[in-house]
Amino acid sequence: MSLAFVDGGFAEPVFGSQHAFRALMDAFARPGSIADLSGLAVPPVPMSPAAGAFLLALADQDTPVFFETHMPDAQAWVGFHTGATVTRDAPSARFAHLSDAGDAAAWNRFARGTAEYPDRSASLLLPVAGLRGGQSLILKGPGIETTREIAPQGLPRGFADVMAANRAGFPLGFDLVLVAGGEALALPRTTRIEEV
């Protein structure tokens, strides 16, 4: 392992966190809109700057993080900068960094909350090839005035079915954030996704 985990944190932690959080808050409040998280964090490859900024802003010792693919440098980086523990127990993870070549059906192992506490659920970071230029999807739901169209590239197998089931389970569910480079796009559990 290299010492790559030391560099690449927020230059100014207080304001970097605030900036990243506000962009993410806006992304959650307006599902499908693209949040700019570039220039804030430089995590070791293969983690994207957007995923890095998300975790630096929101993870700490109270939030175990799960990695679907092994990325030792990036994992050490997250641990070093946030104090979060890396867990191998998917149901106890508050955040999960998914594989970019996985199967969406496997997301069912993450916490979806309980009827009394649906907030005790995971947020999943899904690395994709790009947030534009892929097959069009139409979004509806809270945060969207009428409909919003997105076209991410490289969604995993079974994406539509898993997301439909996640929406149907509301208020239980996970919240998904697509990340590519310095950009992020949130698909909270309230969002209905239709293929065009």
Partner 1 sequence: MTLPTYNFAYLDEQTKRMIRRAILKGIAIPGYQVPFASREMPMPYGWGTGGVQVTAAILGPDDVLKVIDQGADDTTNAVSIRAFFAKTANVATTTKTADATIIQTRHRIPEERLQAHQTLVFQVPIPEPLRFLEPRETETRVMHGLEEYGLVHVKLYEDIAQHGHIATTYAYPVKVEDRYVMDPSPIPKFDNPKLGRSPALQLFGAGREKRIYALPPFTEVASLDFEDHPFTVQRFSRPCALCNATGVYMDEVVTDDRGGRMFVCSDTDHCETRQADGHRGPGLPQLGPHAASDRESAR
Instruction: Tell me, by CB under 8 A, how many residues bind partner 1.
Output: 39
DSSP the chain: --STTSS-S-SSHHHHHHHHHHHHHHHHHSTTPEEE-TTS--PPTTS-HHHHHHHHHH--TTS-EEESS--HHHHHHHHHHH-PPEES-GGG-SEEE--TT-BGGGGGGS-B--SS-TTSB-EEEEE-SBSSSS--EEEESTT-SS-EEE--B-PPBTHHHHHHHHHHTTTS--EEEEEETTEEEEE-TT-EEEE-
Shortest distance, position 116 Cβ to partner 1, whole Å: 4
Q: Which is nearer to partner 1, 21 or 42 (CB)?
A: 21
Shortest distance, position 143 Cβ to partner 1, whole Å: 4
The contact pattern for partner 1, residues 22-61, with x = CB under 8 A and - = no contact, is x-xxx-xxx--------------------------xxxx-
97 binds partner 1 (CB under 8 A): no
Shortest distance, position 140 Cβ to partner 1, whole Å: 10
Q: Which is nearer to partner 1, 48 or 190 (CB)?
A: 190
The interface region with partner 1, picked from 68-76, 130-138, 151-159, 168-176 by CB under 8 A, is: 168-176
Shortest distance, position 68 Cβ to partner 1, whole Å: 21
Q: Is the sign of the CA dihedral 66, 159, 178, 113 positive or negative?
A: negative
92 binds partner 1 (CB under 8 A): no
- Rounded to an integer, what distance in angstroms lies between the CA atom of residue 63 and that of residue 28? 19
- Rounded to an integer, what distance in angstroms lies between the CA atom of residue 185 and that of residue 147? 15
Give residues 105-124 in contact with partner 1 (rule: CB under 8 A). 114-119, 121, 123
62 binds partner 1 (CB under 8 A): yes
Out of 158, 175, 182, 192, name the contact with partner 1 by CB under 8 A. 175
The candidate with the shortest Cα–Cα distance to 58, out of 101, 8, 21, is: 21
Q: Which residues bind partner 1 (CB under 8 A)?
A: 13-15, 17-19, 21-22, 24-26, 28-30, 57-60, 62-63, 94, 114-119, 121, 123, 142-145, 170-171, 175, 188-190
